[in-house]
Structure 1
Amino acid sequence: MKLTFLGTGTSQGVPVIGCHCEVCQSLDFRDKRLRTSLHLEKDGKSIVIDTGPDFRMQMLRESVPRLDAVVYTHEHKDHTAGLDDIRPFNFSQQTDIPLYGSPRVLNQIKTEFSYVFAKNKYPGIPRVLINEIGNLPFDVMGIRFIPIEVMHHKLPVFGFRIADFTYITDANYIAPEEIDKIIGTKVLVVNALQIQPHISHFTLEEALAFIEKIGPETAYLTHISHRMGMHQRIQEELPKNVNLAYDGLKIHS
């Protein structure tokens, strides 16, 4: 399974508009972070987790030729706003694109993109197939996803385990029964917003403690704010098996 970090930034991205901090002014490409999203390729299938506001740029940057499905973690705009840009895939593939999300997430998408679901549809709008998911494992194009419910302050959010790979974003608490689903993961991705405490995201310290509890062979940090600090500086301080992810990073699991 090939995995590409399409974006590793927080809801505002990095650089932040109008900010003149050293991270936002950095010339290191690893300090340029689009909104968080992941591209998964397995058995000839192409699946994206979350279509944030930068979805179009991410697809162009990575030259993604095909999209078979989209899986959503939750309904916040930095994870859904780019849905309209699946249209070129509709045209080139002549297929509807399946969307997978909880009923709450799909209802929010139906509200925000109401024209997609209108009875009398405008020509050229996105064509989608709705698939509700819950806490039970589900298949996407023959690929098994195990949902992991985490808390984003008071909002339930899904992370996903696919074989020996687990992807978690927008979490600040994970219940013991959900942690049990993660144990045995070889490659773990988890959010680490910044060093200072935050109401709805793991800090760097909290993310590292969680990684130590799970004990993966390799871990990657994502959903990173400009307040985290310079990529090179933070990377030098991390344990050997932990990496600060960056946009465009490709790994295999």
Structure 2
Amino acid sequence: MSANASAAELLATVERSPQAVAVHDRAAWVDLFAPDGRVEDPVGSRPHIGRAAIERFYDTFIGPNDIVFHVDHDVVLGAGVYRDLTLDTTMSTGVTLRVPMHLRYDLTQVGGEWKIGRLYAHWELPVMVAQLLGAGGRGLGAAVKLAPQLLGNQGVGGALGFARGFRRVGAAGKRAATGLLEAAGRGDVAGVRAVLSPRAVVEWPVGSDVGHAEFVKRVRGLEVGKTIAAGRFVTVSVRTPTERGIAELEVDGRRVVALRGFVAEDRTVH
């Protein structure tokens, strides 16, 4: 199978997710996952593992709503797809939330078919809640309806697990991540080293370990775009003179302990 055919198959598998969501096809959506599939949505919350848990996730967060995916860019690397997008979620009361997001799909083959092994949804729960509460009566009504759905489908433990999504690296973590990338973009190796922890993992692209100087050389001219803090991770839409994709940084305090570039050739560059 050619590399291009493989990439096309992976993208086709991923694209079946918004297709199933659009027509509220619960079975088709859940069937996209491997038997031991894992959904972490948002990253930092308690994961949903296995078919039954993923069905309950669907019933709580997808089924009652109308969801539209606005995809800006996809990166396919190995057996994974990283999607840069915005999600419009219209809840039962009519309020629509617009959520910037990075979706990471780690795919695996099961019985000769591509399935989603892991789904990591990077988005900011506090931002979504602020939108909901700022939407007036319809937003408040949606929040009131969501609470019993959450408790009924997920139980108290699941509701508390979802609330873990509020714990993020926050503004300081974002500044550390974007500061590192901006330093790299202007060729400042010392600035990069000042933010990296002593044993930090740097892969650019993911799977390719590089030293600090080589990393800076590869990303000279990098531009920082959409930035999301979820759990202990910061994800950043990035562009270099030749590549485009998403940088995934794991942050501990104000230091970056891992940096992975999910980037590929930018075909819009001529």
With normalisation by structure 2, the TM-score equals 0.28
- Which structure has more RCO (C-alpha within 8 Å, separation ≥ 6)? 1
* Structure ranking higher in strand proportion: 2
Q: Radius of gyration: which is bigger?
A: 2
Compare the two structures and name the one with the higher helix fraction: 2
